[in-house]
Amino acid sequence: MKEKQTRRLIGELRSSVDEIDKLLASGKADLTVDFSACTFISVEGLEWLEEMLMRAASLQANVSFVNMPPPIYKVFKVAHIDSILQASGSPPPASTGAAAC
Amino acid sequence: MVGTIKDQDVALSERVNNLVRRARLAAAVFTQYSQEQVDAIVRAMTIAAIDAAQKLALAAHEETRMGLVEDKMLKNLVASEFHYHQIKDKRTVGIIKEFPEDNMVEVAEPVGVILALAPVTNPTSTVIFKSMAAAKTRNSIIFSPHLMAADSSNMTAKILYEAALAAGAPKDFITWVEKSPRLRRETELMMVHPEVDLIFATGGTQMVKAAYSSGKPAIGVGSGNTPVYVHKTAQIASAAMDIIISKTFDNGTECPSEQTLIIDSAIAEPLLEQFKKLGCYVCNLEEVEKVADVAIDPRKGGMNYKLVGQPADTIAAQAGLKVPKGTKVLLCPLQGNLRSHRLAVEKLMPVLGFVTVDSEQEGINRALDINYAGGTGHTAGIFADDDGVIERFSDAINAGRVIVNCPTSIGGLGGVYNNLNTTLVFGCGTGGGNITTDNVGIKNLINYKRVPKRSNFSLTFQTTKNIYINPGSIDNLRNLKTKSAFIVTSASAGRRGHLSAVLERLPGDCRVDVFSGVGVEPDFSTIQKALQQMRQTQPDTVIALGGGSVLDAAKIIRLFYDYPNLRIQEVALNFLDFRHRLAVFPTKMSTQLVAIPTTSGTGSEVTPFAVFKDHETHRKVSLIDECLLPDVAILDANLTKSLPREVTLDTAFDALTHALESLVSTFASDYTDGLALEAMRLIFEALPEVLKNGSSVLWRHKLHNAACLAGMAIGNASVGINHALAHSLGAHYDIAHGRANSVFLLTTLDYNKRIPSKFMSVSSYPLWVADQKYARAAQFLNLVPAQGASNVAVSSNLLSDEQRQAHIKALERAVYDLAEAVGQPKSIAELGIKQEDFAKALPELVRAAFEDMALRTNPRCPLIKEVESLFVHAYPPRQRP
Ligand SMILES: [Fe+2]
């Protein structure tokens, strides 16, 4: 059983976060990323999140994103990256034949 | 070899995925940007574009060998400076527009990832224009340049992107497809890529078609073929100069530029002279053929693309024409049938057709010939000093831009010669297979989120202004201000002595005319008869003396007397909501209406309703409007003393129905509730007393007041389903209105007290409270013991469910007991209607009831099946609830 660790992102996410990268690399912990204090995500920030999730998957570490303010969660929705949506607990988009009206 | 092609395909698809993914991330990040951030980015892009305007024009010309550097530079400046000027103060983030009167705002949502095509004719200005528009609207944009202009297009994209990035724009929000032999294929793949949200196509018809066929939202433009009508009122010299400016602009590559002139013959000669003087060459018919041979591609019948944007000299040389050096435009007379002339098509080069016409009609028709020959929806022009001609021309021509007294090419761009929105994308509407005729710009790159807040209908309360209520109040007629009165009444008013009572009291100098032809259920022909009689005496006052039918008829008579041009079919049209209804009623009446009710039932003396019967369709027709309200009501209970028992009963039950229905109506208010409750109380108290002693003025007075109070309640809150059922049954079987109401009362109480299977969708009725209202009525009528030790009745909405049900049952019992005590029918069977007959009539009864306006204010939204079961439920004789 891995230990559970939570890290809170504060302010603008514009690049990688070393502390999280190191924690993941240690392979010891499952990680919860708390976005409640995150005010902005840049393209580089998004790219890092995706890449970090990829590393986590190969290390079989669980990463989940919590407490996203709606503007941040909307960035995830529009960016439409499966791994990020999954970590956010967002269901994959429905592919049902919904009726247009 | 096979492997190589496959590898190429994989590489291509990877390139596409990569481009689109980068654009998508940028679009996601862009959603967080504020208006201020966006505006700073657009400003930086504008500065960069202005700085690079000449460099980019040179690059475009060098790469494409089309057009003129000077004009390409001008276009770059229009796309940047003019465009910026136009959009800089526009809101594109958050709330972008407010509609305070409609209680609504508009909020911007970016469209996302835009795939933008750039044409060979405007490779740099289009990119400047579209990237600025994308930045302003927080979209990311991928440019797919024309293969023959890819270097200059992409150079432009890069310059603008770098400026934007330095100003804080998201990485990769502008990207571009690199020049390669597979550029076209790459673009096609992107057009159908699931992560591309919108295609913004400008360019060859094939690309636009491909964009529209992609299944994605697309903004495309159609092709042009601009006719320009030079009317005889035009300023000849300046028209000639404007046309030359326009047709030579970028060597004619602008698609809104003039293609064929239609010249009034009165000014043809001086105009052509002017063209010649200013450096144009007018071809003879033989030369026209030679020009057509080179300017038109014989295989397709369209322009020869090799000559697009070439100077007139070059074209003349290719055609084998000897023209003076520096000739600006080759003017070609199009002789014969214009519709089949080779040159009557779009020619993006300085070749301009012309025809002369002898009338405005011919002028507009020839313009239509050109307009509908490949340029529908695009651009047209007119030179005239006559607003009438301009209007008729604009009316006939199908063009998103009808440019008046300016060059159509630069005029179409907007902002230079006129106040059209600046654009490089000319929407052509359905005429050109597009969704818009706009000068496309930022407003087409936003998803508009409308946020309407609930608008509550502001309730008002209206009633008759002067109401005289004492027994003996008929004496007030003595002071009535009238010189000529028209009395509308029925035959019985004479018999019962009411008419003479009125006549005796009218002022001595008042001329009086009497119409006593209103029967039990008057139809429109009765009203017309009265009007005919009335018009002979020209009265200033209508006095309605009688029961509900007489009062209603008088209201309609007064309306049509004052406004003879109203159409009864329109004013009597059903409506869902009177704020939206079709009929327009007058707001001011000039003839005074005095209502003197002789029954205690409808309350018509204080309602804005009037009902008459359409004998042909067996239906009751209702008119509803404030203007129907009488000005004066005289409630003199002495006039009801002689009312027969049966009529007393029926009308009282009508009033009771009014009170019960207005209480729970979706339009009920505190004002109508008070009236409804007191009306109920008075009826329960006074009716049995009146029946014991019909000539008791005291109880007659109370009953008369009750009917009037209930009338005020329905006058503002309206009635409900009970009336719908009663109107239908009454019209079908000729049953008195109040009597028809009585047989449904227990059925509709039972129906409305239950949680609706379907709620009423009415903004002003936010909560279903019919059950509470009935319980409150029971409390008010003292039908239940007071709750709690303090002996103070608790509010009906604080009752437990059980208590509330008990209260409602008490009310139902009270209604039953009253009817039972006075001998009023409580079921359809008691009316003597045979079961078989009823079963046969049922579908028609349901149909008529379901059409009734009274349903619209019922607290429960009835389903057709429910209406049917209500009829069935009301048939058998009843047990006490
Ligand atoms: Fe009624």
Joined tokens for residue B862: 């009835």
Query: Which residues of chain A neighbour B32 with C-beta distances below 8 Å?
Result: 40-41, 71, 75
B174: chain A residues, CB-CB within 8 Å: none
Classify domain B226-417 at the CATH superfamily level. Aldehyde Dehydrogenase; Chain A, domain 2 (3.40.309.10)
Q: How far apart are CA B316 and CA B543, in angstroms?
A: 90
Lowest mean pLDDT among B129-138, B575-584, B650-659, B749-758: B575-584
| DSSP of B796-816 | GGGS-HHHHHHHHHHHHHHHH
Q: Give the percent of chain B with pLDDT over 70.
A: 97
Pull the structure tokens for residue B295: 């300017």
Which residues in chain A have Cβ-Cβ distances shorter than 8 Å to B195? 80
Q: What gap in Å lies between CA B60 and CA B57, rounded to an integer?
A: 5
Nearest to B24 among A44, A74, A80 (CB): A80
Interchain proximity A43–B171, CB inside 8 Å: yes
Q: Where are the domains of chain A?
A: 3-87
pLDDT at B716 over 60: yes
Look at residues B201, B205, B125 and name the one whose alpha carbon lies nearest to residue B375. B205
> Chain A: nearest CA to B660, how far in angstroms?
41
The DSSP line for B608-646 is SEEEEEETTTTEEEEEE-GGGS-SEEE--GGGGTT--HH
> Which amino acid appears at position A101 of this protein?
C
Are B427 and B437 spatial neighbours (Cβ–Cβ below 8 Å)? yes
Taking only the tens of pLDDT, chain A with its 101 residues reads: 678 899 999 999 999 999 999 999 988 789 999 999 999 999 999 999 999 999 999 999 999 999 999 999 999 999 999 999 999 998 766 555 556 65
In the residue annotation, B255 being an active-site residue is answered as: yes
Residue from B539, B581, B703 nearest B635 by CA = B703
CB B384 within 8 A of CB B405: yes
Q: Which residues of B357-377 are buried (b: 16+ CB within 10 A; e: fewer)?
A: beebeebbebbbbbbebbbbb
Judge whether B215 is closer than 8 Å to chain A, CB to CB.
Answer: no
Strands B619-624 and B609-614: antiparallel
Contacts of B37 in chain A (CB under 8 A): none
From CA B78, how far away is CA B88, in angstroms rounded? 14
| A80, A81, A84, best to mutate vs chain B, most B CBs in 10 Å | A80
At A30, give phi and psi (nearest 5°).
Answer: -85, 150
For residue B202, the model assigns a pLDDT of 80
Helix (H) or strand (E) holding B679: helix B670-692
Residues of A in contact with B170 (CB under 8 A): 42-43
Nearest-Cα distance to chain A for B30, in Å, is 8
Query: Per-residue pLDDT tens for B375-405?
Result: 999 999 999 999 999 999 999 999 999 999 9
Residue A99 pLDDT? 62
Cβ–Cβ under 8 Å, residues A13 and A47:
no
Helix, strand or coil, per DSSP, at residue B860: strand
When CB atoms are compared, the residue of A43, A77, A80 closest to B29 is: A43
CB spacing of B29 vs A41 below 8 angstroms = yes
The pLDDT of residue B122 is above 80: yes
User: How far is residue A4's CA from residue B713's CA, in Å, rounded to a whole number?
Assistant: 68
> Are A71 and B26 a contacting pair at CB < 8 A?
no
Q: Which of B255, B280, B332, B406 is catalytic?
A: B255
The mean pLDDT of B195-218, rounded to a whole number, is 85
Q: Do A41 and B170 touch (CB under 8 A)?
A: no
The answer on pLDDT for B581 being more than 80 is: no
Contact B601, B547 (CB under 8 A): yes
* pLDDT, tens only, B74-100: 999 999 999 999 999 999 999 999 999
Question: Which positions 490-529 of B are in contact with A (Cβ < 8 Å)?
Answer: none
Q: B464-642 has which CATH code?
A: 3.40.50.1970
Name which of B17, B19, B32, B161 to mutate to probe chain A: the one with the most chain A Cβ atoms within 10 A of its Cβ.
Answer: B32
Query: What's the gap in Å between the CA of B267 and the closest CA on chain A?
Result: 56
Concatenating the DSSP letter of every residue in A21-69 gives HHHHHTT-EEEEEEEEEEEEE-HHHHHHHHHHHHHHHHTT--EEEE---
Q: Judge: A46–B25 Cβ closer than 8 Å, yes or no.
A: yes
Closest CA to B708 of B632, B791, B604: B604
Which of B20, B25, B193 has the highest number of chain A CBs within 10 A, making it the mutation to test binding with A? B25
Q: In this structure, how many other beta carbons lie within 10 angstroms of the beta carbon of residue B754? A: 11
Encode pLDDT of B313-338 as tens digits: 999 999 999 999 999 999 999 999 99
A79–B25 CB contact, under 8 Å: yes
Give the chain A residue whose CA is nearest to the CA of B194.
A80
For residue B617, what are its two tokens? Answer: 């369709």
Q: What is the mean pLDDT of chain B?
A: 93
Question: What is the rounded distance in angstroms from the CA atom of residue B360 to the CA atom of residue B394?
Answer: 13
To probe the interface with B, which of A48, A76, A78, A80 has the most B CB atoms within 10 Å? Answer: A78
**Closest C-alpha to B425, from B83, B74, B73:** B83
B747: Cα separation from own chain's centroid: 39
**Helices B35-64, B150-166: crossing angle, 10 deg rounding:** 160
Which residues are bridge partners to B289 per DSSP? Answer: none
B24 interfacial to chain A (CB closer than 8 Å) = yes
A41: chain B residues, CB-CB within 8 Å? 29, 32
Question: Could you tell me the CATH superfamily of domain B12-219?
Answer: Aldehyde Dehydrogenase; Chain A, domain 1 (3.40.605.10)
- pLDDT, residue B1, reads 42
The token pair at B798 is: 């604080």
pLDDT for res A95: 54
B315: helix, coil or strand? helix
Rounded to whole angstroms, the Cα distance separating B726 from B730 reads 6
Please name the CATH architecture into which domain B643-881 falls: Up-down Bundle (1.20)
- For range B827-833, the mean pLDDT: 97
Q: From the CA of B702, how far away is ligand 1's center (Å)? A: 18
Decide: A71 and B31 in contact? Cβ < 8 Å: yes
CATH code of the region A3-87: 3.30.750.24
Chain A positions touching B26 (Cβ under 8 A) are 43
Q: Is some CB atom of chain A closer than 8 A to the CB atom of B27?
A: yes
List chain B residues with CB under 8 Å of A42: 29, 170-171
Chains A, B: CB pairs < 8 Å: 40
Tell me the angle at which helices B236-248 and B265-277 cross, rounded to the nearest 10 degrees.
Answer: 60
Report how far ligand 1's centroid is from the alpha carbon of B496 (Å). 24
Using CA atoms, how far residue B457 sits from B102, B151, B609, B769, B880, in Å, is: 12, 61, 20, 18, 40
- In tens, the pLDDT along B268-299 reads 999 999 999 999 999 999 999 999 999 999 99
Contact at CB, B29 and A75, closer than 8 angstroms: yes
Select from B31, B171, B172 the Cβ nearest to the Cβ of A78: B31
Nearest residue, CB atoms, A80 vs list B29, B172, B195: B195
Instruction: Report the pLDDT value the prediction gives residue B534, as an integer from 0 to 100.
Output: 95
- Give pLDDT tens digits for B542-571: 999 999 999 999 999 999 999 999 988 888
The alpha carbon dihedral of B677, B812, B723, B743 has a sign of negative
Residue B835: C-alpha distances to residues B580, B618, B849, B875, B877 (Å): 41, 21, 19, 8, 12
Question: Going by C-beta distance under 8 Å and a sequence separation of 6 or more, which residues neighbour residue B174?
Answer: B131, B134, B135, B140, B141, B143, B157, B160, B161, B164
Per-domain boundaries in chain B: 12-219, 226-417, 464-642, 643-881
Question: pLDDT per residue over B768-789, tens digit each?
Answer: 999 999 999 999 999 998 665 4
Provide the CB-side half-sphere exposure for B172 (13 A, CA). Answer: 19
Whether residue B790 has pLDDT greater than 50: no
**Contact between B257 and B303 (Cβ < 8 Å):** no
In sequence order, the 6+-apart residues with CB closer than 8 A to the CB of B700 are B471, B600, B637, B638, B640, B641, B686, B690, B694
Comparing CB atoms, the residue among B32, B172, B195 nearest residue A71 is: B32
Q: Which residues contact B216 (CB under 8 A, 6 or more apart)?
A: B191, B192, B196, B197, B198, B199
CA nearest to A46 within chain B: B25
- Cβ(B191)–Cβ(B402) under 8 Å? no
- What is the band of B455 on the pLDDT scale with cuts at 50, 70, 90? confident
Q: Give me the percent of chain B exceeding a pLDDT of 90.
A: 84
According to DSSP, the β-strands at B258-264 and B399-404 are unpaired
B20 shares contact with chain A (CB less than 8 Å): no
Query: Please, which residues have CB less than 5 A from ligand 1, an ion?
Result: B 654
Q: What are the chain A neighbours of B29 within 8 Å (beta carbons)?
A: 41-43, 46, 75, 79
What number of helices (H) and strands (E) belong to chain A?
Answer: 4, 3
Label residue B797 by pLDDT band (50, 70, 90).
low
